[in-house]
Structure 1
Amino acid sequence: MTHTAIPDQKDGGATILEIGQQPDAWREVAGRLTEGVEQSDAFLRDLLARPDLRIILTGAGSSAFAGEIAAPVLRRHLHRRVEPIATTDIVASPLDHLEAETPTLLVSFARSGNSPESLATTALADQLVDHVWHLVLTCDRDGKLGRAHLGRPDSLVVYMPERTNDSGFAMTSSLTSMLLSCLLLLGPARAEDVEALAGAAEHVVGLQSDIRALAQTKKQRFVYLGSGPLQGLARESALKLLELTAGEVVTYFDSPLGFRHGPKSVLDTDTLAVVYLSTDPYTRRYDLDIIAELRGQLGPDAVRVVSTEPIPDDLGRSVVLPGLAGLPDALVALPYLVFGQYLALFTSLDYGKTPDNPFPSGEVSRVVRGVTIYPMNGDR
């Protein structure tokens, strides 16, 4: 299939390059972690053996959603408490989320490591938790969070490949590289899985013309649905589209079962629904039910299914990613996400936006500004 021409830099050239580089970036991530396995094992082995260990996956915005995708599979894999809690929630009400007497591994996802909440969250954990360790996943070697934890005996800083420190407004290769690193370090992902994920993502890269054609329908509302880890993916996809269109389109996310309980009211004749199909046979039944329902209400052209295997012909159009059989949802979320990134990019372009900088007047910034961090005073 012929690829869509790359937009020039002012339109979104950086973003489209950063989306397309992900398969190779993932291979590089896996290679780096293999080379550094002794250091990571030395830090994590005894820590993960603790039966009382609590793991918090934290970040802000897209980085927080990475934790939502990873948490369910890590919980099952490690048989430990694994909770995704955004830095914005921890900073606003730390005593609601941090437990003084519970040994805690705080896993921080941070593209730059310069967001005020990222720095404040690790500082609050140090202040309020008796025994805390830090795993910092970041893309910027000059970022404040990485530098603050580098060399500390209670911290492991893992840097992503330099090219994943996205220069575009939206997190694309930075997000997926940090998520993959987390799943390789703490989860069920194996080095050999990365090639399958990269191959599936390369398949999506080859579908750019089809995704561009879908974006050219210029729908006014986009709904993303996914179950379990894929609900975090749906949330990230909705945010990506909202960001890159500068809020001009309405986006919504939910689980297939939750969507019927009121949120389905968002549907109208100008809606595109995207359903990320689970690989779990039990969960998949609920996904297929909502697909049939949406197809009946919106028509087959207004429903897109992203799946690892074909769906029944009467359920509408699907994007089938090959080579992912047997992988859990948290892993297939990586190439699924590439589809969502392209749909956001091309929709942004067709709405006349500039994806590399959709807010040229600075109303929303790449690294959050204007946040005042207040000290915790008194006893905890």
Structure 2
Amino acid sequence: MSTQTLAAGDGGPRPIPVWKRPAWRWLAGLGVALAAWGVLYSQLVPASEWLVSRLPVERTSHLGEALAFFFYDTPKVLLLLALVVFAMGVVRSYFSPEKTRALIAGRREGLGNVMAAGLGIVTPFCSCSAVPLFIGFVSAGVPLGVTFSFLIAAPMVNEVALGLLFALVGWKVALAYLVFGLAVAVVAGWAIGRLKLEGWLQDWVKDIHGGGGTFVPDDAPTAVDRIRLGIEAVRDIVGRVWIWIIAGIAAGALIHGYVPAELMARIMGADAWWSVPAAVVIGIPMYTNAAGVIPIVEALLGKGAALGTTLAFMMSVIALSLPEMIILRKVLTLRLIAVFVGVVGTGILAVGFLFNLLFH
């Protein structure tokens, strides 16, 4: 057994033990772990349904819907968090936060936000599933505004949402939603980045963002070193946020199972200026992904709700959900959460009013 160094983060460098195991054992163990991850992830739906079936509740009841949602989303988000944080820990062994920031800073203004928002299109995650990626990007030193562009676009604009919108209301509306949804993600992320609010991250995230607490091998990192970096990142970050994730999903599950749709349809069907902000306020406490909210959108439109109002509701549900705010509270200060909600909310309101004007 030998020692290597952990960089200063809370008390200066200190030696940590490194067990001399053959590299092939580490690589084989990683392969087995990834295979197990894939098997577990593929069984989330049947496992959640089986758990609900073993309880004395009706599956189609409000409680049954809430429990199924909780049993499915909790392991899903935790699995995603572990995988993404591990991957970002490995990536950090190749590219330091300083190099990552320099790479993006070398692009022309706003390109990083466009790239991050574009990446969000091909990642069909709900808002709480996007938070692990947000944490991973911040941990890798990606600028804060760019990470927010991804956090907004990932749940709000993806192929699931666009495909269902195309089937429901046609390609023109789907294309308009794509354009304006990306515009909200890019502009909001750019605006937050220009405000230079990195100091409003939680202290432990600022330490990671600045490179503190990173395992630094004495020599050039080996494959084993990189695996150990990923494992260390999972232990540190997942250990800090898991309770917030469970609390957020529990709140979302209750709302998902019990909030009535009829009341929302009556409010959003009103042809008045306040219908758009009212829809956003109603949507924020809710929680679902794009595939889950679009059937609600279809029902609302069928009951006479205005298109812009309904899309503003949809955007607020999947980009500004209360459970997402609960999870982000572990990463962001209340001031930064308020700025995030204010900037994104303003963009959503603009889209809602514009759609109502164009498609009245």
- Structure with greater strand percent: 1
Q: Same fold (TM over 0.5)?
A: no
Bigger-Rg structure (1/2):
2
- TM-score normalised per structure 1: 0.29
- TM-score normalised per structure 2: 0.31
- Structure with greater helix percent: 2
